[in-house]
Structure 1
């Protein structure tokens, strides 16, 4: 039995009544593993020290920056050209965001990528890995980018808070 036959059999056994692109997910997991391994190899080759315990400030900074960059990539109207090969626009999503659906036409890999790029929760692992690797390989540049993303995230929450306060003050 070929690998493709095994994946087909597994997909049919796993979700007989719904299309789940398991082979696409496997490709995505392989790509993430390659990213993580590449970051580890780059750290080793360059001799960059990997901190035994990251500083709390870095964890907070990277966490907020991960939130913002994940939402920016998955939901922002301006980044929709990046998602367009894998998604279709459905409607505005509020607060400068859009709602999109995964394209049904195409391969399982295209479908899996579509699910990944429309889900900020799913993208967060990739973004966090990239930013964490950046802290090891290029800490000053990564912190600068993370500060920008964190400031934008805080600004977003302040803008939303302002809008809520304004609506409450003006009444129904």
Structure 2
């Protein structure tokens, strides 16, 4: 099938799938293809280096990577400081607390750019990519990956402690006002 034929087929599919809403199916296909390429390249690299793949990852590694994936996905998709990475694909909307921002995907006319904007502004969507990278790192460079994951996990724990502290401080201040 030619590239033109593929574009026509995707356009017909998009119209049939979501006739009253813009859904960038072509961009989603490009993102899925890129993800498959990255995952395939990681698998090929693991095979080429002869690194052993564990039959079952250790529970502690799954927990460590799970928390690290959560934190890195939020840092990349929501943190104010990382907004320059998302700016070509998103537009600032408003702050959303705790150093995070809400952004809207730019309407650029490009389904690929739209799909990248959705991916970069969605921590749930980005988590698949982050987890794949960290899992590949666990096989290819386990000590370094565990060190990085430990730092991200410590930051995630710190975030929850900061929020708990702020909530308890607000509760204490509210209690003082009621006593007065």
Partner of 1:51: 54
Alignment of 1:94-113 (within 5 A): 94-113=97-116
How far apart, in 1, do the equivalents of 2:5 and 2:25 lie?
Answer: 15
Q: 2:129 aligns with which of 126, 130, 140?
A: 126
Q: 1:69 aligns with which of 67, 72, 75?
A: 72
How far the C-alpha of 1:93 sits from its partner, in A, is 1.1
Partner of 1:140: 143
Structure 2 regions of 5+ residues with no counterpart?
Answer: none
User: Normalising by the residue count of structure 1, what TM-score does the alignment of the two structures yield?
Assistant: 0.98
Aligned length: 172
1:78 paired to 2:103:
no
1:161 paired to 2:145:
no
How far apart, in 1, do the equivalents of 2:60 and 2:152 lie?
Answer: 15
How far apart, in 1, do the equivalents of 2:89 and 2:104 lie?
Answer: 9
Cα deviation, 1:63-95, whole Å, max 9, x if unaligned, reads 000000000000001100100000001111100
How far apart, in 2, do the equivalents of 1:143 and 1:22 lie?
Answer: 36
Question: Runs ≥4 in structure 1, deviation > 6 angstroms?
Answer: none
Cα deviation, 1:79-114, whole Å, max 9, x if unaligned, reads 001000000011111000011000012310000000
- State the secondary structure of the residue aligned to 1:17: coil
Bigger Rg over Cα = 2
Structure 1 regions of 5+ residues with no counterpart?
Answer: none
- State the secondary structure of the residue aligned to 1:2: helix
- Root mean square deviation of aligned Cα: 0.9
User: Normalising by the residue count of structure 2, what TM-score does the alignment of the two structures yield?
Assistant: 0.94
